[in-house]
Structure 1
Amino acid sequence: MPDYRSVLLALMVALCPALPAVAEERDADARLRALYEEEYAWRQQILGKVRDDEGEWRDGDRLPAVDARSQAGHLAYWREALAKLDAIAVDELSHQERINAAVFRQIVTTLADEVGYRAYEAPLNSDSFFWTGLYPRLGGFEDAEAYRRYVRRLRDLPRFFDDNMANMRAGLERGYSVPRVTLAGRDQSIEAYLVAGEGNPFWTPMKALPATIPAAQRAQLEAEVREAIDEAVVPAYRKLLTFMREEYIPNARSTLAARDLPDGEDFYRAQIRAFTTLDLSPETIHQMGLAEVERILAEMRTVIDATGFDGDMEAFLEFLRTDPQFYAKTPRELLSYSAYVAKQVDGKLGETIGFLPRRRFTILPVPDAIAPFYTSGRGGLDSCLMNTYDLPSRPLFNLTALTLHECGPGHALQAAIAKEAPGEIPRFRRDNYFSGYGEGWGLYTEWLGTVMGVYETPYEDFGRLSYEMWRACRLVIDTGVHYFGWSRERALAYLRDHTALSEHEVTTEVDRYISWPGQALAYKLGEMLIRRKRAEAEEALGSGFDQRYFHDVILGLRSVPLPVLERELDAWIAGGGENPYQGLAP
C-alpha cells in the first residue's frame, strides 16, 4: 500500500519550492534540541541530580563525580557534543534556536576548557571553595524523601572531599595551584564544620522540616542527619583542614600570574573567553581599562567639587576612609541602610522595567564563617547578602551602589525575571549564568540609579563612581597581574590609589583577582556594552526610546553571551524599539 503522506508531501514540494528549506530548518532545529537536551540531562546526572515527578532536577543521593577518571570522560563527552554542534548549519536554524546554539556552544566550550586545562585540580580560590555551599542557604526540603537523599549526600561527603584533595595533590605536583599568598586565613572557613550535631551548618535544613512529615518520621530523620554529621561530615572536614594547613597551603605556588601556570597564556585567554564571552586580547583589555580609569577620574573630581571639600583626591579619599559619619555603628544599621535603598528602588521600578516579577528577595548578613574574606555583598534569587563584618571597612556611601547591583534592579531582580518572564527558554538555559551578561547588568544598574534618582548625596554619587572605578581598575589589574607580571603590591597600590575602598576591601579584592584569573574582567566589559547600546538606541530612536523596553529585551533574553546580546539589541533598535512583550498575556 502506498504511503499517502509521502505522496502528499512530494506533491506539496513540487507546487511550493520553498518547502524543502522549511523542512531542513525544522530538521536543524530538532537536531539541535536533541543535542542540548541530551547534554543537559547527562550533565545533571553527573552532578548527582535526580528528576522529580514533575520532571524538574533535584539534589540526589550523591555529590558530583570529580575524580580525574570521571573528568576525562566528561571532556570526551563535551568534545563530541561540540563536534555534533559543528555539524548543524547555523543558517538552517530558526531565530530562537540560533540563540540557543550560541548559548550552548559557549557553555560546552567553557566546560571543556575547564577540564582540558585541568582547572578541577584547583577547586577553590580566595573567595569560593568546594567545601562551602553544599547545603541550602535558606529553608529545608519539600518532603521526607528529599531529607533521606540529603542524609545519603552527607554520607558521600568524605568521598567527594577525598577526590578533590587527590586532584589538588596532582595540581601541586605539576605546578598548578592557587597562589599561596591569597589563601591566608581561608582555612578558617572549615572550622565551623568541625562542630558536632546541631551546631554544625549542615543541620540548617533540619530547622525547616515540613509540618506534613509525621512526628516519628521527623525524629528518625533528625537522628539520621545527626549521625551523618558526626560520623561523616565532621571527620571529612577535620581531614580537609589538616590537608589544607599541612600540605596544600605550604606547598601552593609562590607566583601570581596565570601565565606562570602550565599552558598559562592559553589558559588565561580561555578564562577571558569563559568569563567575558568575548574574544579580546589581554593587551586590548588593559588599554580599555586605562582609558576608563581616566574618564571616571575626571567625573570623580567634578563630584568632589560638588561636596565643597577643600583638598585633593588623596585627601578626599582619606576623609572618606576615616570620618565616622560614613560608617555604621551596628550590623543592623548597615542592613537597614541597604533595605531603605532597596525600597527606594521599588518605587521607581514601574518606570524603569516593563515586566516585573512576583518573587521577592530578602536582605541578610553574610554568614560569620566566611564574612572575613567575603566580598562586600552578593545577590541572588532569594536573598542579598550584605557583609557586616568589620564595620569600619564598610562605608555607607558605597551601599547605595552595592544594593542596586546586588538586589534591585541588579542580581536578585534579574534572577527573578529570568524565572518568570514571558517566553519559554530551554531547560539548559534556565540556571546558566554568563558573568559578562550578569555582572555587566549588575554594574549597569549602579549607573542606572542616577537615572532613577536614587543617589541622595554627592558622597553616595562618589561611592558609585568609586565602585565604577573599582571595576575599571579590574581590567587593568587582572591583565596586569596575569599577563604583564604585576606584583601583588603594585596591584594593591593601584586599587588603593584610585578608589575609596577600605584597606580590607582592597586586600580581599586583589587577592580574588589573583586567585581567579579573568573573572574580574566580566563586569566592566559587560556594562560598557550595555551603556554603549543604550546610547545608540537613544540616538536612533529619539523620543521613541523607552528604557522599559530596552531593559525588557536584555532581561528577557536571560543569560546569553555578550555578542548575542549585542545582536539582539541591534535588531530591536532597527525594528523601532517596540515593546518586546506586546500582545503577550501578562
Structure 2
Amino acid sequence: MPSSNRRFRPVLTIAGACAIVVNGVAPAPATASAAATANTADQRLQALYNAEWEWRQAEMARVRDANGRWNSNADRLPRVDAQAQAARLAYWTRALATLDGIPADKLSADEKINAAVFRQAITTLADNVRFKTYEAPFNADTFFWSGLSPRSGGFANAAEYRAYINRMRDIPRYFDEQTVNMRAGLKRGYTVPRIAVVGRDKTIEPFTVPGAGNPFLDPFNAMPPSIPTAEQAQLKAEAASVVDSVVVPAYKKLLTFIRSEYLTKARTTLAAETLPEGKAFYQAQIKGFTTLDLTAEQIHAIGLKEVARITAEMEKVKAETGFTGTMPEFLKFLRTDPQFYPRTPYELLAFSAYVAKRVDGKLAETIGFLPRRRFTILPVPPALAPIYTGGRGGLESCLMNTYDLPSRPLYTLTALTLHECNPGHSFQAAVAQEAKGRPDFRRQTSFSGYGEGWALYMEWLGTKMGVYDTPYENFGRLSYEIWRASRLAIDTGIHHYGWTRDQAQQYLRDHTALSEHEIETEIDRYIAWPGQALAYKLGEMLIRRKRAEAEARLGAAFDQRHFHDVILSLGSVPLPVLEARLDGFIADGGKGIDQGND
C-alpha cells in the first residue's frame, strides 16, 4: 500500500476566468432545472472527449492492454500521409467547435479541469497539423525510426509477438509516407535545420544489419515460458525472415534518402520565424509547450533576469568551495579536473542510484502520497547515447547517459537524478498511474510546463531535503538551474532574434558548467525543437512562486506535503489551471487534498 490511504480528489478548480470552487464543494444549483443543465453539460463534455480519445487511439494505431491502458501493440503502424493529417485537423476543428458550444459555467468542478486540459491538448494537436509539423517528423534526438522496436524486454504473449511482426511488415509503407512528407517539407522550405540532421543518420545504421544483430530481433530473446517452445521457434523464424526481407531494406532505403537527399537539401537557417508562417508558427509552439500567453520578447526578458539572479547565487556557492579565481576559471576547473568525472559507467549509474535511494528516505516528510510503482536506472541505449541528453526519466526506467564519461560530471548528477528519477519524472509518472477517477484522455495527456516544472522544482527541493553533500553539487544544481533559465534566452534568441549556433553555444558556455559535449547536443536540440525548452523554467518559477506565497500566507499552517500532494493530485494540466489550483490551496488554508480513507 502507499504510505497513506489517501486517494487524490481534486477539490479546487477553474472555469473560464479561473473562478475558484471553495472547500471542495461547488455551489449547489438553485433549482432542479439548473441541476439538470449542469448534468447535461458534463455529459456533453464527457461524450466529446471520450469519443475523441477512442478515435485518436485508432488513428494512432494503439490498442488497450489487459489493464485497460493504451499502447502501441497494434498489428499496424499509424497512417501519417497528408490525407490522414488533413482528416485529423478537420476532426479536431469540429471537436473544438463542439467544446465552444458547451456552457463552461454549467460544468462540475472536475469537468472544468477536464475541459481546460482537453481544449489545450486539442488546440496544440490541431496547430501542429495546421503548420504541417509532420513534414519535419524528427528532431535532434527524437526520431520516428528509432522507437519501433522495444528498447528492453519482450512481449507478454504470442498474440503480441504476432502483432509486432505485422508492424514490422508495415514499416516500408510507414517510411514511404514519412519520406513523401519530408519531400513536401523540403519543397516549401520547412525542414529540420541541417546542423541538427548531421550525425543523426547514424541512429539508423543498427537497423540496416541483417541477422541476429538487428535490434528488432531483441524481443525474441526474452520470450515468456508460457509460449510453447515450438511456437517460439516458429515466431523467431518468421521474425528473422521479415527483418531480413522487409525491415532491413526499408531502413537502408530511408538511410539513403536521409544522407543523399534530406541532409543535402535541409535548410541552413536556424530560426523558426524564418519558416513558412514562421512568426505565427513559433508563437503557436510557445503556447503549445508553455500553455501560457507570453510573447518571445517577454520570455527572453524573463530569461535574462533569471540568469542574472542565479549568477549572483553561483558566485556565493563558488566562494563556499574555497576557489579564489574568477567564474570562468572556476568553470574551466570544473570541466577539466578528473576528480569530478566518473571513471566507469558503473560509477555513474551507482552514484545516481545512491542519490535516488537517499531521496526515498526523505519522501515521507516531503510528499504525502507515495506510489507503489518502482523504477529502475539504466544506461541510455548505445545507438542513441552519442546524441542523447544526460538523462531521461519515465514510468518504467530512468535512463542515464554513460557515453563519453569525461563529459558527464558527477557534480551535476544529484540534480539530474532528482529531476529525471526521484522525485521527478519517474516518481511523478508512478503517482499519475495510480490516480483515480480521471478520464482516459487525462491519464495519457501531458504538458511540458507542468511535468518539467515539477522536475526542475525537485532539483531546488533537494536543498531542503539535504541531498547535496558538497558545495560542488549545489553549484551543479545552480548550473542546471541557470541552464534552464538560459534556455529562455537561447530559444527565443535563436528562433526570434536570429542568434547563430555559435552565439547560442557561447551563451550556455559562459553561464553554466555544462561540458562541451552537452553544450553542443543541447543547442542542437533547441535549434531543432523550437519552444520545447521554454517550459521547464516557466513551470518551476510558477511552483516556487506559489510555494513562497503559501508559506507567507499560511505561516505555521503550511505543510509542504499537502502542497506537493495538491500539485500531483491535479495531474498534468496547463499552467494557468495549476496556478488557479494553488491559489485555491492558499485560500483553503492549506488543507490540500481530501485526506479521508476510501
TM bin, normalised by shorter chain, reads: over 0.9
**Distance (whole Å) between structure 2 residues aligned to residue 53 and residue 441 of structure 1:** 30
Secondary structure in structure 2 of the residue aligned to 1:206? helix
Determine the structure 1 residue equivalent to 2:422: 408
1:29 aligns with 2:42: yes
**Distance (whole Å) between structure 2 residues aligned to residue 552 and residue 535 of structure 1:** 16
Which residue identity does 1:38 align to in structure 2?
A
1:298 aligns with 2:312: yes
Determine the structure 2 residue equivalent to 1:245: 259
Query: Higher mean Cα deviation, 223-232 or 474-483?
Result: 223-232
**Distance (whole Å) between structure 1 residues aligned to residue 530 and residue 224 of structure 2:** 42
Per-residue deviation, residues 374-432 of structure 1 (Å, max 9, x unmatched): 000000001111111111111100000000000000000000000013x3100001111
**Distance (whole Å) between structure 1 residues aligned to residue 162 and residue 542 of structure 2:** 47
Q: CA deviation at 1:65?
A: 0.7
**Distance (whole Å) between structure 2 residues aligned to residue 155 and residue 473 of structure 1:** 44
Determine the structure 1 residue equivalent to 2:32: 19
Which residue identity does 1:162 align to in structure 2?
D
**C-alpha spacing 1:334/1:51, structure 2 compared with 1 (3 Å):** closer
Determine the structure 2 residue equivalent to 1:211: 225
Determine the structure 2 residue equivalent to 1:490: 503
Per-residue deviation, residues 422-462 of structure 1 (Å, max 9, x unmatched): x3100001111111111111100000000000000000000
* 1:135-174 matches, cutoff 5 A: 135-174=149-188
**Distance (whole Å) between structure 1 residues aligned to residue 248 and residue 318 of structure 2:** 52
Which residue identity does 1:176 align to in structure 2?
Y
Secondary structure in structure 2 of the residue aligned to 1:278? coil
1:538 aligns with 2:520: no
1:281 aligns with 2:292: no
* 1:123-272 matches, cutoff 5 A: 123-272=137-286
Per-residue deviation, residues 141-178 of structure 1 (Å, max 9, x unmatched): 22111111111001001111110011000000000001
Match of 2:132 among 102, 118, 121: 118
1:67 aligns with 2:67: no
Determine the structure 1 residue equivalent to 2:597: 584
Contact persistence 2:137–2:143 (CA under 8 A): yes
Q: CA deviation at 1:135?
A: 2.3
Q: CA deviation at 1:140?
A: 1.8
Secondary structure in structure 1 of the residue aligned to 2:468? coil
Q: CA deviation at 1:203?
A: 1.6
Secondary structure in structure 1 of the residue aligned to 2:170? helix
1:459 aligns with 2:468: no
* 1:76-95 matches, cutoff 5 A: 76-95=90-109
1:480 aligns with 2:489: no
Determine the structure 1 residue equivalent to 2:389: 375
Q: CA deviation at 1:579?
A: 4.0
Secondary structure in structure 2 of the residue aligned to 1:531? helix
Contact persistence 2:172–2:247 (CA under 8 A): yes
Determine the structure 1 residue equivalent to 2:343: 329
**Distance (whole Å) between structure 1 residues aligned to residue 320 and residue 269 of structure 2:** 44
Q: CA deviation at 1:50?
A: 2.8
Determine the structure 2 residue equivalent to 1:8: none
Which residue identity does 1:468 align to in structure 2?
E
Q: CA deviation at 1:55?
A: 4.6
**Distance (whole Å) between structure 1 residues aligned to residue 539 and residue 242 of structure 2:** 44
Which residue identity does 1:208 align to in structure 2?
A
- How many residues were matched structurally? 569
Higher relative contact order (CA 8 A, sep 6+): 2
Contact persistence 2:585–2:592 (CA under 8 A): no
**Distance (whole Å) between structure 2 residues aligned to residue 346 and residue 198 of structure 1:** 40
Match of 2:439 among 417, 420, 426: 426
**Distance (whole Å) between structure 1 residues aligned to residue 151 and residue 268 of structure 2:** 34
Secondary structure in structure 1 of the residue aligned to 2:399? strand
Which residue identity does 2:432 align to in structure 1?
A
Percent of residue pairs identical? 65
Match of 1:508 among 502, 517, 521: 521
Query: Higher mean Cα deviation, 350-359 or 57-66?
Result: 57-66
Q: Which runs of 5+ in 2 are unaligned?
A: 1-28
**Distance (whole Å) between structure 2 residues aligned to residue 558 and residue 146 of structure 1:** 30
Determine the structure 2 residue equivalent to 1:558: 571
**C-alpha spacing 1:541/1:493, structure 2 compared with 1 (3 Å):** same
**Distance (whole Å) between structure 1 residues aligned to residue 439 and residue 529 of structure 2:** 30
Secondary structure in structure 2 of the residue aligned to 1:384? strand
**C-alpha spacing 1:241/1:552, structure 2 compared with 1 (3 Å):** same
Secondary structure in structure 2 of the residue aligned to 1:364? strand
**Distance (whole Å) between structure 1 residues aligned to residue 498 and residue 262 of structure 2:** 24
**Distance (whole Å) between structure 2 residues aligned to residue 141 and residue 130 of structure 1:** 21
Determine the structure 2 residue equivalent to 1:7: none
CA-based RMSD = 1.1
**Distance (whole Å) between structure 1 residues aligned to residue 447 and residue 559 of structure 2:** 26
Per-residue deviation, residues 73-95 of structure 1 (Å, max 9, x unmatched): 01000000000000001100001
Q: CA deviation at 1:53?
A: 6.3
Q: CA deviation at 1:107?
A: 0.8
Determine the structure 1 residue equivalent to 2:62: 49
**C-alpha spacing 1:49/1:328, structure 2 compared with 1 (3 Å):** same
Secondary structure in structure 1 of the residue aligned to 2:513? coil
Match of 2:461 among 433, 448, 451: 448
Which residue identity does 2:263 align to in structure 1?
I
**Distance (whole Å) between structure 2 residues aligned to residue 275 and residue 462 of structure 1:** 28
Q: CA deviation at 1:581?
A: 3.4
Query: Higher mean Cα deviation, 151-160 or 131-140?
Result: 131-140
1:573 aligns with 2:586: yes
Secondary structure in structure 1 of the residue aligned to 2:462? helix
**Distance (whole Å) between structure 2 residues aligned to residue 380 and residue 51 of structure 1:** 20
Which residue identity does 1:62 align to in structure 2?
R
Per-residue deviation, residues 175-200 of structure 1 (Å, max 9, x unmatched): 00011012211100001111223211
